[in-house]
Structure 1
Amino acid sequence: MGVSFLSISTLPSLLPPLVAHNPKSTLTKYQPRSVAICCTKINTDVSDEEEQFHWKRRDILKCIGVTIGLELITNSGPLVGMANAADLIERRQRSEFQSQIKGTLYTAIKGNPDIVPSLLTLALNDALTYDKATKTGGPNGSIRFSSEINRPENKGLSAALNFIEEAKKEIDSYSKGGPISYSDLIQYAAQSATKATFLASAIRKCGGNEEKGNLLYTAYGSNGQWGLFDRQFGRADTQEPDPEGRIPIWDKASVQEMKDKFSAVGLGPRQLAVLSAFIGPDQDATETLLASDPDIAPWIQKYQRSRDTVSRTDYEVDLITTFTKLSTLGQQINYEAYTYPRAKIDITKLKL
């Protein structure tokens, strides 16, 4: 058995240039680099000289291919840099737009706090139309259609939809990347409503003092747990209502019917318990009903104990996690949504 080594450390300098370099171009700072490559082959004894020749030629070509690949990677530096910069710009655009949306919703909810429970149920009912078998439905904005919002399971949610419509007008007026989808806005309104309930709880724990309540929520609250939810931004609106019969009529549904619905979308008793504040027109009555079920009762009790603590960590984190999963059921997220071309500068008009 023989071992042969083929050194081609000087091969890059023998190859023709892959990219014509302009001395005045900004690409000149990324010069090709010679890379030492050692190709190793362990051979069994081969008596056929022609076969040995074919092996050597084949391995030489492989080594040349590796070298060319390295040359391409080296010379792609500016392109990679530009791609990364463009990606960062798009992320910043989406982040700034999200901040504006949250500001609009925060102000609107603060002026109408009674709308909070309905916003939560609106988001839940829009999402729970998801059907795993057909991969249809989900948080796609279908609840905005009159034929769907007027169904029995959506009783009392018209005011929440009107709230969404008004918020959408304001948000679309300053959006640089096109109108916000109903599907995104409904879920983000529910997020703002959820945060409002968390903050209200912190204020109550501070005897109604808003300043202290804000400090408490900032120090111990769950605001930092929304990262994954915020990245799921770019849902597309459906153009037709979702089929009927996919949502229980909550104030008439049995616990088993609720459990079956949640199970159908991949959620269980734990998630049903933590989302009890979203379900139906009378959420206190829903939670009381759910507490009678042996599978759900331990979770109801766990979250009640958590809500009595200062930080409410178990309850708030589990709710955010479950709501995040719920808000993306069956959705293909467009991570370039709401981005826009940067303004071009006409250098001929610059005053130097």
Structure 2
Amino acid sequence: MAVSFLSTVPNLLPIVPVNASITSAPRYPTLGATVRCSKIEADADNEERFKRRSILTCFGATVGLELVRSSGTFVEMAEAADLIQRRQRSEFQSSIKDTLYKAIKENPDVIPSLLTLALNDIMTYDKASKTGGPNGSIRLSSEISRPENKGLVGALNLVEEAKKEIDSNSKGGPISYSDLIQYAAQSAIKQTFLASAIRKCGGNVEKGNLLYTAYGSNGQWGLFERNFGRADTQEPDPEGRVPQWDKASVQEMKDKFSAVGFGPRQLAVMSAFLGPDQTATETLLATDPEVLPWVQKYQRSRETVSETDYEVDLITTLTKLSGLGQQINYEAYTYPVKKVDFSKLKL
């Protein structure tokens, strides 16, 4: 009895009984070869060995494995789409950085306020209820007018002006205040470190830029920049969650940092965010025996060429703080790529 079955699916080993004769497929087909479960012949004596179940087994396994293989096409498409989205987000981030860099360079005096603006938006986070955090609520009039946010209106105005320019050029929709406020803090930090490098080079801008490029920790921002896609809240966060840093005791500061999951080390490294005068803040923090060693560590680090200990810990701490309670939308600011109608091309 002759049984014939033709499969057009590629790249599969023939799955048939050992004693069956397969005439048109190699024993071990190589990757990409077309395998045909075809012209399978059985003599009368072996007819019972090759029943319908064997044929169905061959067919089912062939189709199943082919579906697995062909699913690679979908995986490749998904990977390509992901690469496009990542490129779009990266390009958008570059435009944000350029806009913020120019705005802050023209208004360097606003840097301390930008840092405090970002921290105060973060510190509304409540660990128990998982509410608050860097959600842009500080932009709302009822929150920016609170005592702890006194003097931050100028920083918020800079953010709002930058947002207008960024949104006007955005292909993937407007940037959230929650993202932009944290990115403004990042830009302010970078410019602070760059200014420090220039001072160490006697005020030579070119040498200062080279120094920071060679020894700075700019590459540590990867995780911070990945957490890009925060959503804005439309309601102010509850009052009483953020201290007035310039009036708070060290213990009150420690308690607040502890409440969001951080300790004396993170408090010390964030000293520049705790008011307009970093030196005065560190003098106060140094009165606490738990914070003092960290204050001294970071002061020593800032005197070195690279400032590695201080800069890396600062970037790490801000990255963790800026994600508190937030659900990051990793597809935010992406947009469909315009398809080309090849039928209209003249070749």
Q: Which residue of 1 aligns with 2:15?
A: 11
Q: Which amino acid counterpart does residue 241 of structure 2 have in structure 1?
A: R
Q: Which residue of 1 aligns with 2:233?
A: 238
Q: Which residue of 1 aligns with 2:341?
A: 346
What 5-or-longer segments of structure 1 have no aligned partner?
A: 1-7, 14-28, 35-59
Distance 1:134 1:302 in 2: 34
Q: Which residue of 2 aligns with 1:138?
A: 133
Distance 2:130 2:56 in 1: 48
TM-score (norm. length: structure 2) = 0.84
From the superposition, tell whether residues 10 and 223 of structure 1 become closer, same or farther in structure 2 (CA, over 3 Å): same
3-state DSSP of counterpart to 1:241: coil
3-state DSSP of counterpart to 1:77: helix
Residues 273-292 of structure 1 deviation map (CA, whole Å, 9 limit, x = unaligned)? 00001012433222111011
3-state DSSP of counterpart to 1:76: helix
Distance 2:269 2:315 in 1: 9
From the superposition, tell whether residues 346 and 147 of structure 1 become closer, same or farther in structure 2 (CA, over 3 Å): same
RMSD: 2.4
Q: Which residue of 1 aligns with 2:71?
A: 76
Q: Which residue of 2 aligns with 1:302?
A: 297
Residues 126-185 of structure 1 deviation map (CA, whole Å, 9 limit, x = unaligned)? 001100111100000000001100101001000000000000000000000000000000
Q: Which residue of 1 aligns with 2:46?
A: none
Quick check: 1:204 aligned with 2:208?
Answer: no
Quick check: 1:156 aligned with 2:151?
Answer: yes
TM-fit CA distance, 1:62: 10
1:127·1:329 contact (CA, 8 Å) conserved in 2? yes
Residues 226-265 of structure 1 deviation map (CA, whole Å, 9 limit, x = unaligned)? 0110100000000110000000111111111100000010
Q: Which residue of 2 aligns with 1:49?
A: none
TM-score (norm. length: structure 1) = 0.82
Q: Which residue of 2 aligns with 1:177?
A: 172
1:132·1:264 contact (CA, 8 Å) conserved in 2? yes
TM-fit CA distance, 1:31: 7.4
What are the within-5 Å matches in structure 2 for residues 35-50 of structure 1? none
TM-fit CA distance, 1:77: 2.0
Q: Which residue of 2 aligns with 1:110?
A: 105
3-state DSSP of counterpart to 2:175: coil
From the superposition, tell whether residues 33 and 273 of structure 1 become closer, same or farther in structure 2 (CA, over 3 Å): farther
Distance 1:279 1:32 in 2: 69
1:140·1:182 contact (CA, 8 Å) conserved in 2? yes
- How many residue pairs get aligned? The number is 306
Residues 98-123 of structure 1 deviation map (CA, whole Å, 9 limit, x = unaligned)? 00100111111111111111100000
Match of 2:285 among 286, 290, 298: 290
3-state DSSP of counterpart to 2:340: coil
2:15·2:57 contact (CA, 8 Å) conserved in 1? no
Residues 14-46 of structure 1 deviation map (CA, whole Å, 9 limit, x = unaligned)? xxxxxxxxxxxxxxx977779xxxxxxxxxxxx
Q: Which residue of 1 aligns with 2:49?
A: none
Match of 1:264 among 259, 268, 277: 259
TM-fit CA distance, 1:330: 0.5
Distance 1:192 1:12 in 2: 65
2:112·2:275 contact (CA, 8 Å) conserved in 1? no
Distance 1:276 1:32 in 2: 67
3-state DSSP of counterpart to 1:288: helix
Distance 1:12 1:197 in 2: 71
1:32·1:75 contact (CA, 8 Å) conserved in 2? no
What 5-or-longer segments of structure 2 have no aligned partner?
A: 1-11, 18-30, 37-54
Distance 2:168 2:16 in 1: 56
Residues 195-230 of structure 1 deviation map (CA, whole Å, 9 limit, x = unaligned)? 000000000000000000000000000111101101
Match of 1:97 among 82, 92, 98: 92
Q: Which residue of 1 aligns with 2:48?
A: none
1:12·1:67 contact (CA, 8 Å) conserved in 2? no
3-state DSSP of counterpart to 2:252: helix
1:30·1:74 contact (CA, 8 Å) conserved in 2? no
1:33·1:74 contact (CA, 8 Å) conserved in 2? no
Q: Which has the larger radius of gyration?
A: 2
Match of 2:217 among 217, 222, 241: 222
Distance 1:31 1:243 in 2: 66
From the superposition, tell whether residues 308 and 177 of structure 1 become closer, same or farther in structure 2 (CA, over 3 Å): same
- Identity between Structure 1 and Structure 2 (%): 79
